[in-house]
Amino acid sequence: MLRLVRVELVKQLRRPRTWVVLAFVVLVPIIITIALKTNPPSINDGGGGGDGGSRGGGVRFFFLASQSGLLVPIATLRVMSEFFLVVIFCMFAGDSIASEAGWGNLRFLLTRPIGRTRLLAAKLIVAAFYAGLATVLIIVSGLIAGGIAFGYEGLNIPILGLSMSVGSILAKIALSGVLAAWGIAGIAAFAFMLSTMMDNSAGAIMGAVGAYVVLSILGAIDSIGPIRYGFPTFYNGAWVDLFRGQSFGGDMVRNVVAQVPYIIVFLGIGLWWFRRKDVTS
CA dihedral 175, 22, 188, 13 (to 10 degrees): -120
- Give the Cα separation of 54 and 239 in Å (integer): 10
Binding status of residue 238 toward another protein by CB under 8 A: no
Q: Please identify which residue in 34, 43, 107, 171 interacts with another protein, judged by CB under 8 A.
A: 107
Name residues whose C-beta falls within 8 Å of residue 272's C-beta, 6 or more positions apart in sequence.
Answer: none
Task: Kindly state the number of chain residues that form the binding site for another protein, as judged by CB under 8 A.
Answer: 32
Site string for another protein, 116-135 (x = CB under 8 A): x-xx----------------
Q: Does 19 bind another protein (CB under 8 A)?
A: no
Smallest gap from Cβ 88 to another protein, in A, equals 19
Q: Which stretch binds another protein (CB under 8 A): 51-59, 107-115, 194-202, 240-248?
A: 107-115
Q: Which stretch binds another protein (CB under 8 A): 56-64, 96-104, 153-161, 164-172?
A: 96-104
Q: Does 272 bind another protein (CB under 8 A)?
A: no
Q: Contact between 23 and another protein (CB under 8 A)?
A: no
39 part of the interface to another protein, by CB under 8 A: no
Q: Rounded to 10 degrees, what is the CA torsion of 233, 15, 110, 188?
A: 0
Give the nearest distance from C-beta 6 to another protein in angstroms.
Answer: 7
Nearer to another protein, 112 or 225 (CB): 112
CA atoms within 13 A on the CB side of 65: 36
**Identity of the residue, 118 or 151, whose beta carbon is nearer to another protein in the bound complex:** 118
Q: Is 162 near another protein (CB under 8 A)?
A: no
Q: Is residue 234 a contact partner of residue 184, using CB atoms and an 8 Å limit?
A: no
Contact status: 44 vs another protein (CB under 8 A): no
By CB under 8 A, tell whether 225 contacts another protein.
no
List 110, 125, 128, 148, residue binding another protein (CB under 8 A): 110
Which range binds another protein by CB under 8 A, 30-38, 126-134, 185-193, 271-279? 271-279
* List 38, 42, 113, 226, residue binding another protein (CB under 8 A): 113
Contact between 20 and another protein by CB under 8 A: the answer reads: no
